[in-house]
Chain A
Amino acid sequence: MIDAFIVFFGVLALVFAGLVLTLRQPMRAALALVAHMICLAAIYAALAVHVVALFQVLIYVGAVMVFMVYTIMLLDDRDASMRQRYSAAVVPAVIVAVVVAAALLLLLGEPAPAAAAAGAPFGFTAFALAFMKQYWFHFELATVLLLVGIVAAWTVIRESR
């Protein structure tokens, strides 16, 4: 039952990723991307990794995509790149993408690590404790990255004036 759920949302995620590539209007592509991310969140929830499913919906769909939609609305929607969707180098790009996909799928032939019995390590308590005990340094580094991001965005805004 769970596996059928995962396959269903996996195929849907694939379809919406294809729509992001092919739709002409950026706004429609953004909505397809939102649907793609929600499908992935459903897969994470089916895998019982609820924390990441929540992050996916809150951070990606709630923050990143809303930001992107605002940017699309800020910019002019009648643009040369609407009439001509694809660049001239479509054929080499498709060849490169197929080769990359084939290489990644070949890597799947490597023996997988042993599966563990299903427990419940993905609750918020376990996650928070892991961050405080194991990943505190990485967590601090992430805050530094966010600070650098704020300073950089501020610089870009000053540049635009």
Chain B
Amino acid sequence: MIARYEFLLALAAVLFSLGLLGVMIRRNLLVVVMSLEVMLNAVVLSFVAAAAHTQTLHGAAMSFFVYVAATCEIALAMAMLVLLVRRRGTLDLSADQELKG
């Protein structure tokens, strides 16, 4: 019988890799941003699992800051995405190949 903590951390690892896979393979800009959210959620899951395991508040407080960063990120990402799509006329990521770095 696998322990609860290890199960949750393994789940977080698999979810993180799934999100990473989504960022790499999908062409649709919106779905790429959603896969980023899956990765962030996996990180929060590992924080909360650690907090519940050790019964300390640090993990839960950290997840709060992850939420703040995610809210900021999504507000900016959506504004930039609408701007990019208006400029290029498509949601396809391959239209943005001149973006460097």
Which residues of A are in contact with B by a Cβ distance under 8 Å? 3, 6-7, 10, 13-14, 17-18, 20-21, 26, 29-30, 33, 36-37, 40, 43-44, 47-49, 51-52, 55-56, 59-60, 63-64, 67-68, 71-72, 74-76, 79-82, 84-87, 89-90, 93-94, 96-98, 100-101, 104-105, 107-108, 112-119, 121-122, 126-127, 130-131, 134-135, 138, 142, 145-146, 148-149, 152-153, 156-157, 159-160
Given the complex, which residues of A lie within 8 Å of B13, measured CB to CB?
A: 101, 104-105, 107-108
Query: Which residue of chain A is the closest to B6 with respect to CB atoms?
Result: A108
Q: List 11 A-B contacts (CB under 8 A).
A: A13-B11, A21-B18, A21-B25, A49-B48, A56-B44, A68-B78, A75-B30, A79-B28, A81-B91, A86-B27, A119-B55
Categorize the interface residue count of chain B: 35 or more
A14 B11 Cβ-Cβ under 8 A: yes
- The majority secondary structure among interface residues of chain B is helix
Instruction: Please pick, from A81, A117, A156, the residue contacting B79 in the complex, using a CB distance under 8 A.
Output: A156
Number of A-B pairs, beta carbon distance below 8 Å:
232
With A82-B28, A115-B54 given, name 14 new contacts (CB 8 A): A7-B7, A33-B37, A51-B60, A52-B60, A52-B63, A68-B74, A75-B85, A75-B91, A80-B90, A87-B25, A108-B13, A149-B75, A156-B76, A160-B83
Given the complex, which residues of A lie within 8 Å of B27, measured CB to CB?
A: 80-81, 84-87
A20 B76 Cβ-Cβ under 8 A: no
B5 A112 Cβ-Cβ under 8 A: yes
Give the Cβ gap from A154 to chain B, nearest Cβ, in Å.
9
